[in-house]
Amino acid sequence: MHTLHVELGERSYPIYIGRDLLADGALLAPHISGRQVALISNETVAPLYSEAVRAALPPLDLITEIVLPDGEQFKTLQTLELIFDRLLEEGHNRSTTLIALGGGVVGDMVGFAAATYQRGVNFLQIPTTLLSQVDSSVGGKTGVNHTLGKNMIGAFYQPQAVLIDTDTLHTLPERELAAGLAEVIKYGLISDEPFYRWLHEHMPALLAREEASLAEAIERSCVNKAEVVAADEREGGVRAILNFGHTFGHAIETDQGYGNWLHGEAVAAGLSIATRLSSQLGRVPESEVLALEALLLRCGLPVRAPESMSVEQFMELMGRDKKVIDGALRLVLLDAIGQAVVRADTPLADIAKVLAHSQR
Amino acid sequence: MHTLHVELGERSYPIYIGRDLLADGALLAPHISGRQVALISNETVAPLYSEAVRAALPPLDLITEIVLPDGEQFKTLQTLELIFDRLLEEGHNRSTTLIALGGGVVGDMVGFAAATYQRGVNFLQIPTTLLSQVDSSVGGKTGVNHTLGKNMIGAFYQPQAVLIDTDTLHTLPERELAAGLAEVIKYGLISDEPFYRWLHEHMPALLAREEASLAEAIERSCVNKAEVVAADEREGGVRAILNFGHTFGHAIETDQGYGNWLHGEAVAAGLSIATRLSSQLGRVPESEVLALEALLLRCGLPVRAPESMSVEQFMELMGRDKKVIDGALRLVLLDAIGQAVVRADTPLADIAKVLAHSQR
């Protein structure tokens, strides 16, 4: 087992990475301070792992199991209300601990429920998808979607601990594994060129779900993200580079309706578009764009926006994104592989050009 | 104009108290950092003061006016969604500033909207009721009610500034003025005996809405609350004394349905019950209980629970309150006038006895 520490002053917390962690009671117990727990999962993950987690919990006065519907389309205020209803009906008080067992949707919603239930209770994350292990387990972004935009309602709120059990990846559908790899590749692109080269080399092992390679990829992703988050917890500056590819990706997700494209798939197309834009602006050689696209395609990930989306639709949807500050579209671009920067001065014509390319 | 500073490190903010402040553009402008504002009020307060605030705003790119229905029964997640819908429809981004213009319900909801819209935006409070001026303007408690309990969903979130315009009290209904005085009296009881004695002396002037007395009562209330909050922002310890009378009061409000008893009225009955309980436990002379009841009655405030509530109903409702930690009912009691303490060891029989007295 490896342990990382996300350094955020009094909000610091550990991330444990290894095999068979979710049934490890000795790991769980120190992070549960009260006598109440709500174990919150979804209908796909609960049958696989809930019982093991339940059996590993310390002695408690109250355990509530909440099973949410599975899918990004349920990441809403309405689903959040279901959680609040159950917690209140069963008498959970401020000393309760919420445990998020599942992917990013479960983690984001349970984190937001923890941030706002009785003005804040403790929570633990047990992410069971590659995407949530490398993304939502670091950084404290929690929230739900709104019909007019993704993650529009939420809070920054840190967990007590994150348990990444790499064994859970064996039950992960192939499409979800690929979606997680899109975020892994992003960390290489924005801040870690050696890791990016390593990924090209180890992609066959990752796709074959070889334990050591997966653990390595997860750890290096989390380390990269943790460094950025520690420098800028509330996204005042450098943290924005984590959104590389996401402004384009979010537009695709919003246009297609949540749940049709996986988040990681939309990000993959976004990475490709954003890297091509960087190349178009003379920062990255065209050959790197092609190499990236080959890597994404090897994972079975898309490298183009959906054909049905026009450049105009893209521009309209991106204008609604959180990254717009007072009229200027802030975009994350690459200055080189492994080096992302935030720019607010990209000419709209260049953005339109790369989008038009993506429609071909 | 008087200025208080609530000291909370990087979350510190000023409270301005004085006449004609809400139309003071020079006071507002430094606290609005972006080019977007949403002015959120309710259908009672908006017709009185929205235009004056609007006229005092600095030049902006986007001003949205949102008028909520008036009343505690609308302090819900559903009303919050109305706010999010409008903000998103009109394109408010992370640089927006929300302005809460109204009483405690507006302040709590707008504060929570600010805490969670795009994971947190700036907000200003312009409280227009005595209760909100002395209570919700200090401390950063924001949130909404749930059918199973008051303020069950929320966040700790501090405003950029609070403007208390004492002129707004001239349009306040008598019943609301009295409700605010209940909280003012609470500050004297829990932490400021000289202020409590001052209140006995100046109650006629306060009820006659004499400017200087009102400003003095507001300032001393805010100073008392700010001291407690600065020592314990997230209610880990001493801050709980601010809930003096509230465990009983919340039970009354929940039982009667939100909006029938005003919050301050329920608190008045709660102050009376909690002081009587302190007397019953030998901490405060019976004569002080009678003097408090006389003071509350002079304001037109209740000193008893509603006749329809049984002791059993009370105990059941209080058991659901946030102040219950792992089975023990934490109650705020007085050791003396001006000196509150939190106790978790009050025998249930004593609580039942004082409640039975309150039913007579």
User: Contact at 8 Å (CB) between B160 and B31?
Assistant: yes
> Is the pLDDT confidence value at A236 over 80?
no
User: Strands B328-329 and B324-325, how do they pair?
Assistant: antiparallel
CB contact under 8 A, B84 and A115: no
Burial class (CB in 10 A: 0-12, 13-18, 19+), B339: middle
Per CB-CB distance under 8 Å, the chain B contacts of A154 are: 116, 118-119
* B265: enclosing H helix or E strand: helix B263-280
User: Contact at 8 Å (CB) between A306 and A256?
Assistant: yes
Residues of A (63-102) whose Cβ lies below 8 Å from B: 77, 81, 84-85, 88-89, 91, 93-95
Residue A327 has a pLDDT of 58
Read off the pLDDT of residues A176-211 as tens digits, 9 standing for 90 and up: 999 999 999 999 999 999 999 999 999 999 999 999
**B320 touching A (Cβ < 8 Å):** yes
Q: Output phi, psi for B207, to 5 deg.
A: -65, -25
Q: What is the mean pLDDT of each run of 10 residues along chain B (360 residues)?
A: 90 94 94 96 97 96 97 93 97 96 96 98 97 92 91 96 96 96 98 98 97 95 93 82 93 83 94 97 96 97 93 84 63 96 88 84
CB atoms closer than 10 angstroms to residue A327: 10
* Alpha carbons B205 and B131: distance in angstroms, whole number: 17
For B202, the token pair is 């100046």
CATH code for the structural domain at A174-358: 1.20.1090.10
CB contact under 8 A, B326 and A35: yes
Residue A325 has a pLDDT of 57
Residue B140 has a pLDDT of 93
Active site residues of A: 119, 141, 183, 225, 235, 239, 243, 246, 250, 263
Residue B358 has a pLDDT of 80
* Alpha carbons A187 and A220: distance in angstroms, whole number: 8
Sketch the domain layout of chain A as residue ranges. Answer: 2-171, 174-358
Per CB-CB distance under 8 Å, the chain A contacts of B322 are: 93-94, 118
CATH fold of the domain at B2-171: Rossmann fold (3.40.50)
Average predicted confidence (pLDDT) for chain A: 93
